[in-house]
Amino acid sequence: DGGITQSPKYLFRKEGQNVTLSCEQNLNHDAMYWYRQDPGQGLRLIYYSQIVNDFQKGDIAEGYSVSREKKESFPLTVTSAQKNPTAFYLCASSIVGGNTEAFFGQGTRLTVV
Amino acid sequence: AQSVTQLDSQVPVFEEAPVELRCNYSSSVSVYLFWYVQYPNQGLQLLLKYLSGSTLVKGINGFEAEFNKSQTSFHLRKPSVHISDTAEYFCAVSDLRRGSARQLTFGSGTQLTVLP
């Protein structure tokens, strides 16, 4: 089955540590996205990429970094510079242009302890 | 820039009653419109989308929405809800420009709780 796989589902991090969230898709989509979800605030865009080796900042990119070395993969690193990293992180993918929607993974819940 | 306003953060409704979840948006360009549903600790699932054509859009699980361009609204409706419809619902918009990625601007969500 085609889809988006995020791992791990739950992640705990100590303050001051970097952590990387995995996102893999086998939908052959060119575009991939990372969103952060906080209670009562909906989803906010962190980074997105339309093509391999290229990505753009979203609305809340500070304290995060990404890479896009392969079409299928778009890992997100939450750095120690991110002041409030505890959140639910969602990865999505879509085609570029065209009449279609974004497809979402099942999310990773990150907790700083 | 785009923005999405979901007017109700919580909507309780009794089983088999009708429900409407309200969504208004603002944008300087034409947009696509979406409703997604999220069950606890899960990702988002597409309910329905408006891209063009008929302003009344039918989706999964008996939901429908109507695009009203003059009122910049995209309200979600269901004539008779079930306990299993209890979830959070998100309205979202995406830039219509050709060749652009589908980055979405979301509303803050509406928690629908269906009571027995």
pLDDT (tens digit, 9 = 90+) per residue, B82-99?
999 999 999 999 876 655
Q: Which residues of B39-60 are buried (b: 16+ CB within 10 A; e: fewer)?
A: eeebbbebbbbbbeeeeebebe
The alpha carbon dihedral of A23, A27, A30, A32 has a sign of: negative
CA atoms within 13 A on the CB side of B80: 1
Mutate to test the interface with B, among A4, A23, A29, A43 (most CBs of B within 10 A): A43
pLDDT score, position B18: 98
> CA-to-CA distance for A29 and B9, rounded, in angstroms?
33
More confident residue, B7 or A100: B7
Q: What's the pLDDT tens digit per position in B46-63?
A: 999 998 888 899 999 999
Using DSSP, state whether B85 is helix, strand or coil: helix
CB A34 within 8 A of CB A66: yes
Is residue B4 pLDDT above 70, yes or no? yes
Q: Report CA A19 to chain centroid distance, whole Å.
A: 12
| Contact criterion met (CB < 8 Å) for A107 and B43 | yes
Cβ-based contacts of B106 with chain A (< 8 Å): 35, 42-44
Q: Which residues pair with B38 in a beta bridge?
A: B44, B88
pLDDT score, position B1: 78
Band (B40; pLDDT cuts 50, 70, 90)? confident
Mutate to test the interface with A, among B30, B42, B44 (most CBs of A within 10 A): B44
Q: What's the pLDDT tens digit per position in A67-86?
A: 999 999 999 999 988 889 99
- Interior angle at CA A25, CA A38 and CA A97, nearest 5: 85
Is residue A1 pLDDT above 70, yes or no? no
The span from the first CA to the last CA of chain A, in angstroms, equals: 35
Cβ-based contacts of A31 with chain B (< 8 Å): 101-102
Q: What is the 3-state secondary structure (H, E, C) of B32-62?
A: EEEEEEECCCCCEEEEEEECCCCCEEECHHH
Question: Is the bond leading into A85 cis (omega within 30 degrees of zero)?
Answer: no
The span from the first CA to the last CA of chain B, in angstroms, equals: 41
Cβ-based contacts of B107 with chain A (< 8 Å): 42
**Residues A65-68: contacts with CB under 8 Å, at least 24 apart:** A66/A34, A68/A32
CA distances from A22 to A8, A32, B49 (A): 7, 12, 28
